[in-house]
Every structure is written in structure tokens, then in C-alpha cells.
Amino acid sequence: MKLVDFLAEEAIIYSLKVRDKKSAIKEMVEALTQSNKIPVKEVDSVMVALMKREQLGSTGIGGGVAVPHTKHGCVSRLVVTVARSEEGIDFDALDGEPVHLVFLLLSPNETAGAHLQALERIATLIRDSDFRRFMTTASDKKEMIDILREVDGHPTRSLT
């Protein structure tokens, strides 16, 4: 499973403007509409689904990373996007720390394996503190994409 195959590059946000969880997710979902990954009229319904999942347990799984995700009928294949926040977002994360890196996943309703594989891939990647550091200190959006391509090209190799 390669994340970059599903990555909506145009929707990547180099620096999130907002500081709270809901606004951050909203900013990312809107970026997905601007890059034509999801229709504008679905924004509200996608937001509801994502926030509903957050209420059952934060997707801020620790280490300054959050992975809001849901299944939704408005996509026909898995869509992944990433955003960075310098100041950090209050995600009510498991470790209580602010989140600096957000991966957002949307997958179609009937999908079985791909969604879980993507979740697993992200969980594996972010266990590597070098990956987290490189992503959060990237100097622009292109560098973020390059890092993701680099780690995806060598699924078992870490960055150092």
C-alpha cells in the first residue's frame, strides 16, 4: 500500500491557519473541494461524519499527529490529504499534546481493505520520529510531498 497513490497533492496544506480541531478539519475538507476531490455540496455531510467519529474518540493518536477519517458515499476511491500546523492544534489527543500533523482519510462506503491499510500505513510512518520531524519542519508543500514519496518508495526503510 502506497499512500502517495491516494494522496490529493493539490489539497495538501502547508500551514493551517486555524488552531482548533473542527476548523482544522474544515479547512482540509474545503481544500479537498477546491481540488475537486469532493463536491462542494457534500462538505457539511463529510464534516458531520468526521466529527461524529472524533466524538467517539480523538483520532489524535499521539506524537503530535491526528488522523481524522471516515467512510463517505461522496468518494469512489480512497482520498488522503495532509496538513501541517506550526503552532499546533488542540485535538484532545490521547497524549494531551498539540497536533502538528494531520492526515485526513475519506474512503467509499463499500471499501474493505484499503481504508484499514491506509490507517496502518500512517500509524507505522508516524512511529518514526524522524518522519514526524521532517514533515513538520518541511520548508514548503513540495518538500512534504517529497518526504512522503521518499518513505513510500522504501516502505521498510526509515529516513535516517
Partner 1 sequence: MKILIVGAGAVGFNLAKQLSGEGHTVSIIESDPQISRKITEKLDVLCVSGSGNLPSALEEASIREVDMVLAVTDSDEINLTVCLLAYWYGVKSKIARLRNEEFTKEDSILRKNQFFIDRIINPIPITVDSILKVIETPGATYVADFVESDILFRGFRVPPDAPIAGRKIKELKEAGSTDSFLIVAIQRGDDMVIPLGEMEICPDDNIFVLLARASLPYFLPMVNRRATEAQGIVIYGATSIGIQLANALEKTASTVILIEPDKEKAQMAASKLTRATVLHGHATETEIIQQATLEPVDFFIGASANEQDNILACLLAKKQYAKKTIVITHEPDYVPIFGSIGMDVVINPRLITVSSILQHITRGPILGVAKLFGKTEAEATEMIAERGSEVAGKKLSKVSFPKGSIVGSVIKNGSMILPYGDCVISPGDRAIVFYMPEAREKVQALFTKK
Binding string, residues 123-152; x marks residues near partner 1 by CB under 8 A? x-----------------------------
Stretch that binds partner 1, among 35-43, 53-61, 79-87, 137-145 (CB under 8 A): 53-61
Contacts of 154 (CB under 8 A, 6+ apart): none
Cell of 86: 506550526
CB of 142 to partner 1, least distance (A): 29
Q: Chain centroid to CA 137: how far?
A: 16
100 catalytic per annotation: no
Q: Which of 60, 101, 104 is nearest to 81 (CA)?
A: 104
Cβ atoms of 128 and 120 within 8 Å: the answer is: no
Does position 51 interact with partner 1 (CB under 8 A)? The reply is no
Give the interface with partner 1 as residue ranges (CB under 8 A): 52-53, 55-62, 67, 69-71, 93-96, 107, 112-113, 115-117, 119-120, 123
